[in-house]
């Protein structure tokens, strides 16, 4: 309970220092009051290219010397930004909801031109990746604590957090003595573990791991494996149905009562008519006629202070075998990354996760890969991927637009439908769409009026030609009469 308060003695330093078990950071507001406190350990594992089809992996940790320039905090939002090395940074954005706060985004930027970490790298770019964790329901006047290991994996980057202690909104210039622990730290035997398990599991899904601490990270999964003991106790609850199976013995005695209505077997002909009355319920199956999906407007920003590097507007529908469902943009988490010749858009809702991968080929961008996992409205899990697509192609520096409904087959079991589609995954300027290139379907919509116009013009020409021919004949006849 007093773990957070024990570090108050360090607050007067006003700098970021690293103790034996982590990096400790104190962020102060413009009035020089403590507004954000953090103590944590972070390890990174990054794969990068050194030659064609040759990949190396760099492993490093959040160093002892970090700068907190760019960290901010106010009453409703705060940002912890740690800068280190030659152009690397790691930041966390927090927002409040009433008396609770949550983590919105974890952003990690690494400079591939730093030869001390990425020797022989073929790229000199600074790459930024985003993670949407679900650390939430943390009391404003409490410290979030998680000694267990959390792992976040995004493409070629793996991040590991542990020994985390954060109070994103410090009140009255003093850290709180109250702790909100992650579920992995809570004993599975206590009832509280059940209430915090959902929070911790979403937290672990957003954390990143590092191989330098593999020996310690394996300890955390051991504790997590013990959490599966709780479902074991739940499995004992399945014994109750066993006792219920004994109640099915009563219908066995009832089966003897059915011997009496043997003469009433003719009366049993009535129930078949009742079976026909049960047939109508299957008929109310106008469910396939779904309404048009809501158009989501998504944008990807390298950080909160920069303009968008990827824009996408569309309504989306999935067809899994014979079942259709609309993708709901409200509450969807938007993450991804933007690079010079490629970009990724990751949309995560409560039921579906979909990843779009765009590439730049010969000065034209296209949707190159699509990966979808989720559950249908009936609870059926599905997963499909296609890494050999050539969709939504347009020149780099422009956007692709297709207002009409389009159907794309991703796999044997999955098709997607798009509505009011417009995307620009590369070369976005000033955070707005550039001039759009229409899809062929929209272009066909102009053919009908053009064809009608041409037909009318030909008809007019025929009428005029017939008129002049007829008039000329009448004139010749008039001359001959004289």
Q: Select the CATH number that applies to the domain covering 23-181 from these four: 2.40.160.110, 3.30.1540.10, 1.25.40.10, 3.40.50.2300.
A: 2.40.160.110
Q: Which of 8, 309, 322 is nearest to 167 (CA)?
A: 8
Rounded Cα distance, 150 and 203, in Å: 7
Share of the chain above pLDDT 70, in %: 71
Cα–Cα distance for residue pair 53/48, rounded to 1 Å: 10
DSSP string, 305-327: TS--SEEEEEEEEEEETTEEEE-
Bridge partners for 349 per DSSP: none
What digits encode the pLDDT tens for the residues 128-185? 888 878 788 999 899 999 999 988 887 789 999 989 999 999 988 899 999 999 888 8
pLDDT of residue 286: 47
Q: Do the beta carbons of residue 360 and residue 326 sit within 8 Å?
A: no
Chain segment 380-399, per-residue pLDDT in tens? 888 999 999 999 999 999 99
Instruction: Give residue limits of the domains in the chain.
Output: 23-181, 296-441
For the chain, the distance separating the N- and C-terminal CA atoms, rounded to the nearest angstrom, is 124
CATH architecture of 296-441: Beta Barrel (2.40)
The mean predicted confidence, pLDDT, of the chain is 76
Same fold, 23-181 and 296-441: yes
pLDDT tens-place string over residues 238-293: 333 333 333 334 343 343 333 434 334 333 444 444 444 454 555 554 445 789 99
Per-residue pLDDT tens digits for 10-58: 333 333 333 346 899 999 998 899 999 999 999 999 999 998 778 899 9
Residue among 18, 16, 108 nearest 58 (CA): 108
Identify the residue with better confidence: 321 or 236: 321
d(CA 329, CA 309): 19
Structure confidence by residue, pLDDT tens digits, 189-236 = 443 333 333 333 333 333 333 333 333 333 333 333 333 333 333 333
| Pairing outcome for strands 138-139 and 126-131 | unpaired
Burial level of 20, CB count in 10 A (0-12/13-18/19+)?
A: exposed
Is residue 8 a contact partner of residue 26, using CB atoms and an 8 Å limit? no
Position 281 scores a pLDDT of: 55
pLDDT, position 473: 76
Q: What is the mean pLDDT of residues 433-446?
A: 72
Query: Please, which pLDDT band fits residue 422 given cuts at 50, 70 and 90?
Result: very high
* pTM (global) more than 0.75: no
Q: If you search the block for the tokens 């600074």, which residue do you land on?
A: 126
The residue written with tokens 């590097």 in the block is 309
Predicted pLDDT of residue 446 = 54
């Amino acid at each position: 309970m007093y773990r957070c308060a024990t570090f108050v003695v360090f607050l007067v330093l006003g700098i970021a220092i690293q103790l034996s078990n982590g990096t400790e950071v104190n962020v102060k507001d413009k009035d020089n009051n403590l507004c954000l406190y953090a103590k944590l350990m972070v390890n990174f594992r990054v794969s990068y290219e050194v030659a064609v089809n040759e990949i190396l992996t760099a492993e490093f940790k959040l160093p002892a010397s970090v700068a907190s320039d760019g960290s901010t905090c106010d009453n409703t939002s705060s940002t912890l930004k740690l800068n280190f090395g030659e152009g690397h940074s790691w930041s966390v954005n927090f927002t409040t909801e009433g008396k609770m706060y949550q983590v919105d985004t974890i952003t990690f930027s690494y400079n591939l031109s730093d030869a001390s970490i990425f020797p022989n790298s073929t790229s000199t770019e600074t790459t930024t990746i985003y993670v949407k964790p679900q650390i939430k329901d943390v009391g404003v006047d409490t410290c979030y604590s998680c000694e267990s290991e959390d792992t976040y994996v995004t493409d070629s980057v793996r991040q590991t957090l542990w020994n985390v202690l954060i109070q994103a909104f410090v009140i009255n210039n003093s850290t709180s003595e109250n702790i909100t622990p992650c579920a992995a730290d809570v004993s599975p035997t206590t009832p509280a573990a059940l209430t915090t398990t959902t929070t911790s599991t979403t937290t672990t899904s957003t954390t990143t791991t590092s191989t330098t601490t593999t020996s310690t990270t394996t300890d955390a999964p051991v504790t997590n494996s013990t959490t599966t003991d709780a479902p074991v106790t739940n499995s004992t609850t399945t014994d109750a149905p066993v006792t219920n199976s004994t109640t099915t013995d009563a219908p066995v005695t009832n089966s003897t009562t059915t011997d009496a209505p043997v003469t009433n077997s003719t009366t049993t002909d009535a129930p078949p008519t009742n079976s026909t009355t049960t047939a109508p319920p299957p008929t109310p199956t106008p469910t396939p006629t779904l309404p048009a999906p809501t158009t989501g407007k998504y944008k990807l920003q390298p950080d909160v202070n920069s303009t968008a590097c990827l824009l996408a507007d569309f309504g989306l529908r999935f067809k899994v075998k014979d079942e259709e469902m609309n993708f709901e943009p409200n509450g969807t988490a938007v993450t991804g990354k933007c690079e010079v010749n490629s970009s990724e858009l990751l949309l995560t809702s409560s039921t579906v996760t979909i990843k779009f991968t765009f590439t730049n080929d010969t000065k034209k961008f296209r949707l190159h890969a699509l990966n979808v996992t989720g559950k249908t409205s009936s609870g059926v899990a599905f997963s499909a991927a296609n890494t050999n697509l050539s969709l939504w192609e347009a020149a780099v520096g422009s956007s692709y637009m297709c207002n009409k409904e389009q159907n794309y087959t991703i796999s044997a079991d999955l098709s997607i439908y798009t509505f009011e589609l417009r995307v620009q995954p590369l070369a976005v300027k000033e955070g707005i769409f550039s001039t759009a290139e229409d899809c062929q379907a929209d272009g066909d919509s102009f053919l009908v009026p053009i064809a009608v116009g041409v037909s009318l013009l030909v008809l007019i020409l025929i009428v005029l030609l017939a008129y002049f021919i007829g008039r000329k004949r009448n004139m010749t006849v008039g001359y001959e009469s004289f």
